[in-house]
Structure 1
Amino acid sequence: MTDRTAASATAAGTTPTETLLLRRGEVHSPADPFATAMVVERGHIAWVGSEGAADAFAQGVDRVVDLDGALVTPAFTDAHVHTTATGLALTGLDLTAARSLPDALALVRAYANRRPADRVLLGHGWDAARWPERRAPRRAELDEATGGRPLYLSRVDVHSAVVSTALLDLVPGVRTTGDEPLTRDDHHLVRAAALAAVTPAQRAEAQRAALDHAASLGIGSVHECGGPDISSAEDFHDLLNLARERPGPRVFGYWADLDLELARELGAVGAAGDLFVDGALGSHTACLHTPYADAAHTGTGYLDATDVAAHVAACTEAGLQAGFHAIGDAALTAVVDGVRAAAEKVGPARVRAARHRVEHAEMMTPATIAAFAELGLTASVQPAFDAAWGGEEGMYADRLGPERARTLNPFAAMLKAGVPLAFGSDAPVTPLDPWGAVRAAAFHRTPAQRISVRAAFTAHTRGGWRALGRDDAGVLVPGAPADYALWQTEALVVQAPDDRVARWSTDPRSGTPGLPDLTPGADLPVCLATVVGGREVFVRPQG
């Protein structure tokens, strides 16, 4: 099969005053399912159409780019990112690839030797559920590996951590002194102390690394999920400034705080994101109606329905988006009960129009799915979670038992009910990997919850913009922002109603643009260039 490659991706964007014609490609546009050309002018899409019609534009544009068969799609939107933490993982100690406890400790030891000047050693990504030892590192083991230096290691879900004795000595008020991972308030205290040790220069380096990596994957915008329990106001402010000052993905900031005025002052688009109603399944802190299969409790609740109702009503009145982190079924019940109470107070139409959102929304039930649709709540979800932890033998089954585990992340049921979906990664919890997320949703580990590649792609492009309240972006049609990516990929396919993948048909009655073959084992597309607002933010080096 012949690869569709661009002969040159070095001129895929424009200057603010240029008009650009891209031709001889495959343009993924609902305006014309057979489009092979596109005109970009002043940062927006001006026209899409066929190769023959492109001749009429060739003399009137400033530049013409021969795509040589490359696929052009809207740039992806990652609807849930922790940018600085992602950059720190990219540039620092990343334990996601550790296959055992000794492997993880060896990585800690090597990192400590490489970073003798760091006040606090920072690492992320351990997951004892994947290790033969089935346990987290003990404090004495961390003390030995670091030579007695302060160390903070967040679990892969970032809802618990293990630390060295030297870090505990720096944090008054921590109640836990044993070897169990720190959760809840203890974790928040040590995380705040660890992140406070990051210098402004380290933070800026991490932010640049994360945004550059996102651009290299065809991501044109990210939703930053910050908050006082996650990062800091300074980190959030600096990230938004950085994104404004340099070419790169757009950054839309959500500040997870009940303080609406602070969210406004920081330039947040919503007092939303990781405003915690509960924790995470891996750390046994997601809030459940019935106990965990492997622990004799139901997790942790941080906000109740009354808290949710007050916040949603206040945000609706103030013209801000509200939103919450909710994973467990009890947490999601609290959210919908609270949003419904707010709707009774300020009016259901106003609540629906605000497009409030819920992050993760994993343990949805038929009742909560129906409530999301009724109340206009957007589900900001992460398909990579199912790929990483779903299945009969995954972490979800360990925590909940196989029967409950099969009900998680019900994307098909949510779409069928009319719940808006926006896809993201929750990086660094799972990596920035948009095509991987589309594949994960299309090949969900629970077959009944699989959705079409087209629906998954839409959730990862236009869905992210709709979650912001924007219906005019995330799609290549005239008038839309010129946020797009060029891809090297194999022959395009469409998905039949029975989920079989078939080769692209030239039957015009289909009216469906083709997308890459994402069946397991197929190579994912390679990003050749990413353009945001008409400006190149990434070009893959030649050769």
Structure 2
Amino acid sequence: MTERTDRTVLLRGGNVYSPADPFATAMLVEGQHIAWVGSDGAAEAYADSADEIVELAGALVTPAFVDAHVHATSTGLALTGLDLTGSASLAEALDRIGAFGASHTGGALIGHGWDETRWPEHRAPSLAELDAAAGGAPLYLSRTDVHSALATSALRALVPGLDTLPGHDAAGPLTRDAHHAVRQAALAHLTPLQRRDAQQATLRRAAALGIGTLHECAGPQISSAEDLAALLALAAETDGPEVYGYWGELGPEGVATAKRLGAVGAGGDLFVDGALGSHTACLHDPYADAPHTGTAYLTAAEIAEHVTACTEAGLQAGFHAIGDAALTAVVEGVRAAADQLGLDRVKAARHRVEHAEALGYETLAAFAELGLTASVQPAFDAAWGGPDGMYAARLGAERAAALNPYAAMLRTGVPLAFGSDAPVTPLDPWGTVRAAAFHRTPEHRISVRAAFTAHTRGGHRALGHDTDGVLVPGALASYAVWATGDLVVQAPDSRVAGWSTDPRSGTPGLPDLTPGEPLPTCLRTVVRGRTVHRS
């Protein structure tokens, strides 16, 4: 049953992560807002009038997380269906495909998560192997980065003219327009019930992980207008998590569709380039393991026109850009729009860039100058960084070590918002904070406190909601309660990973996220004063 919105809830006997009182052990919520934070002793004045008293028993209370980049339907399909992320080999992946196909009848089969760079065979399945494993059914399997995919012959047959599209391969993975075409054909076979079940699975998982807000990055190439409309309607009729939509379509038509759908921006996965794993991220210099520089989908002039249209319409523009050449195009385009409209007006719109991995110093400075928010995914580095990771294979060790420079972003004044890009990497907020604090390249590490802020308040600020994502009187009561170990203050220097909080410092502690330590367990998630998860 839905909770009343006018309830008063007193939480006491724990640790409240609040800048209003770094020693707070209690918090009072009235309706949708936080009314007070303070000590257990002072909380006694509110006990008699509270509709509910939550005995924290030492638990930690924090703002709820914001995942600033998700694909809810695809994530839900991976949660409830065929997810190859954990496959240790090509042979195991084919076995799992066969088992999945045998248990499903009718419509297209949809799966995700294969990554040939992690398999001893170091190759994707051939079309013949895929057809045999799927038993002749139409099957769509997105690669882990979702910028290439495998499709069986039966699915390919549903796309007339597929062999004429850029990115077509007669026997191997599909990229570019060919990939988008088979994905649309597969998703077209989802029933409204299948879509709703998948979206509900994502919202449930998010709530169980202490995530109170999701930024859905939709678009005509990644999902559909119907998919985004259904998700926003579902989120509106449930207590949470909250969902804010981005529609990644270029130009006036994209702006009009974003407004019609109720999206907050015409951006998100509006592709300037692809991904490193699929050799489609756009680079200034060739890949180390391929004789080309990737794929450019948009020019600086097209970017400028889109930023101008969005700014004039009162919407955020946003772009998917990973490679250094793609990021150069974004900066040139946004700067051209600023020259036309005025820098202050463009900065006030808080346009954003998704992923922003290959940022050099000049591009970093331009991000800060133009007020661009970097919506980034630290789990990418955890999955593919390091001297032996996929990034190094694609770019060489030196260029790979320059990717995802979070510390330099903060020093330069670039606003950060953290997300997962689920299903590319899983919904895992504390794991994301850990990945940023223990980046595989030590000079890019940031403190746990800074990473936590990027994954809470940073996501709200990316929406222009500057007062949300912090536990202070008057703020929205969107919070999570955690079972955790000792609270410490952690620095980005791995030589001094953590130390107990000195009470004299006035600095509240967070869980010890040193690799190997268990991550916190979510006991309760509350969105705007309503409980959306309770363990």
Q: Taking structure 2 as the reference length, what is the TM-score of the superposition?
A: 0.97
Q: Hey, what does 1:505 align to over in structure 2?
A: 501
Matched, 1:268 2:263: yes
What is the CA–CA distance in structure 1 between the aligned matches of 2:57 and 2:86, rounded to whole Å? 37
Give, in angstroms, the shift of residue 511 of structure 1: 2.4
Q: Which aligned pairs between 1:62-461 and structure 2 lie closer than 5 A?
A: 62-117=51-106, 119-175=107-163, 176-258=168-250, 259-461=254-456
Higher relative contact order (CA 8 A, sep 6+): 1
What is the CA–CA distance in structure 2 between the aligned matches of 1:188 and 1:496, rounded to whole Å? 43
Q: Is the 8 A contact 2:27 2:37 kept in 1?
A: yes
Q: Secondary structure at the match of 2:511?
A: coil
Q: Hey, what does 1:520 align to over in structure 2?
A: 515
Letter in 2 for 1:263: A
Q: Which runs of 5+ in 2 are unaligned?
A: none
Q: Which aligned pairs between 1:477-488 and structure 2 lie closer than 5 A?
A: 477-488=472-483
Letter in 2 for 1:218: G
What is the CA–CA distance in structure 2 between the aligned matches of 1:179 and 1:501, rounded to whole Å? 49
Q: Secondary structure at the match of 2:162?
A: coil
Q: Which moved more, 1:145-154 or 1:409-418?
A: 145-154
What is the CA–CA distance in structure 1 between the aligned matches of 2:19 and 2:3, rounded to whole Å? 23
Superposed CA deviations along residues 424-468 of structure 1, whole A, max 9, x for unmatched, are: 000000000000000000000000000000000000000000000
Q: Secondary structure at the match of 1:257?
A: coil
Letter in 2 for 1:171: V
Report how many aligned residue pairs link the two structures.
527
Letter in 2 for 1:489: T
Give, in angstroms, the shift of residue 146 of structure 1: 1.3
Matched, 1:40 2:29: yes
Q: Hey, what does 1:538 align to over in structure 2?
A: 533
Moved over 6 A (4+): none
What is the CA–CA distance in structure 2 between the aligned matches of 1:65 and 1:146, rounded to whole Å? 51
Alignment match of 1:54 (pick from 29, 33, 43): 43
Q: Is the 8 A contact 2:78 2:112 kept in 1?
A: yes
CA RMSD of aligned residues (A): 1.2
* Residues 471, 530 of structure 1: alpha-carbon distance in 2 compared, 3 angstrom cutoff: same
Q: Is the 8 A contact 2:218 2:246 kept in 1?
A: yes
Alignment match of 2:460 (pick from 460, 465, 480): 465
Q: Secondary structure at the match of 2:503?
A: coil
Give, in angstroms, the shift of residue 497 of structure 1: 7.3
What is the CA–CA distance in structure 2 between the aligned matches of 1:396 and 1:456, rounded to whole Å? 22
Q: Is the 8 A contact 1:381 1:422 kept in 2?
A: yes
What is the CA–CA distance in structure 1 between the aligned matches of 2:490 and 2:155, rounded to whole Å? 52
State the identity as a percent. Answer: 69
What is the CA–CA distance in structure 2 between the aligned matches of 1:214 and 1:61, rounded to whole Å? 28
Letter in 1 for 2:356: A
Q: Is the 8 A contact 1:71 1:487 kept in 2?
A: yes
* Residues 361, 120 of structure 1: alpha-carbon distance in 2 compared, 3 angstrom cutoff: same
Give, in angstroms, the shift of residue 503 of structure 1: 3.8
Q: Is the 8 A contact 1:14 1:20 kept in 2?
A: no
What is the CA–CA distance in structure 2 between the aligned matches of 1:14 and 1:161, rounded to whole Å? 43
Q: Is the 8 A contact 2:109 2:140 kept in 1?
A: yes
Superposed CA deviations along residues 395-431 of structure 1, whole A, max 9, x for unmatched, are: 0000000000000000000000000000000000000
Q: Which moved more, 1:406-415 or 1:62-71?
A: 62-71
Q: Is the 8 A contact 1:493 1:501 kept in 2?
A: no
Give, in angstroms, the shift of residue 246 of structure 1: 1.4
What is the CA–CA distance in structure 2 between the aligned matches of 1:528 and 1:298, rounded to whole Å? 47
Q: Is the 8 A contact 1:293 1:400 kept in 2?
A: yes
* Residues 205, 257 of structure 1: alpha-carbon distance in 2 compared, 3 angstrom cutoff: same
Letter in 1 for 2:19: P
What is the CA–CA distance in structure 2 between the aligned matches of 1:403 and 1:505, rounded to whole Å? 37
Letter in 2 for 1:351: V
Q: Is the 8 A contact 1:220 1:249 kept in 2?
A: yes
What is the CA–CA distance in structure 1 between the aligned matches of 2:440 and 2:407, rounded to whole Å? 12
Q: Secondary structure at the match of 1:314?
A: helix
Superposed CA deviations along residues 109-147 of structure 1, whole A, max 9, x for unmatched, are: 000000023x11111000000000000010000111111
Q: Which moved more, 1:175-184 or 1:217-226?
A: 175-184
Give, in angstroms, the shift of residue 18 of structure 1: 1.2
Q: Which runs of 5+ in 1 are unaligned?
A: 1-10
Q: Secondary structure at the match of 1:332?
A: helix
Letter in 1 for 2:14: G
Superposed CA deviations along residues 268-296 of structure 1, whole A, max 9, x for unmatched, are: 00001000000000000000000000000
Letter in 2 for 1:293: A
Letter in 1 for 2:197: E
Q: Is the 8 A contact 2:487 2:501 kept in 1?
A: no
Q: Is the 8 A contact 2:10 2:46 kept in 1?
A: yes
